[in-house]
Amino acid sequence: MGFPVRIVEQLQPILKAFRKTRGLTQLELAGEIGVTQQAL
């Protein structure tokens, strides 16, 4: 990415777009980045 994430609210749309472009479920993405599904 070309810019730093400065506040937590910026993460949701970034992670959602990343997940959808890769065709992943929330559970699959959570496993890849090492967090729980609820954290997403």
Block means of pLDDT (10 residues each) for the chain, 40 residues, are 82 92 96 88
pLDDT of residue 1: 55
For 22, the 3-state DSSP assignment is helix
pLDDT of 21 reads 96
pLDDT for the residue 27: 95
What per-residue confidence (pLDDT) applies to 20?
A: 96
Q: Letter for the amino acid at 11?
A: L
| CA–CA separation, 26 and 1 (whole Å) | 20
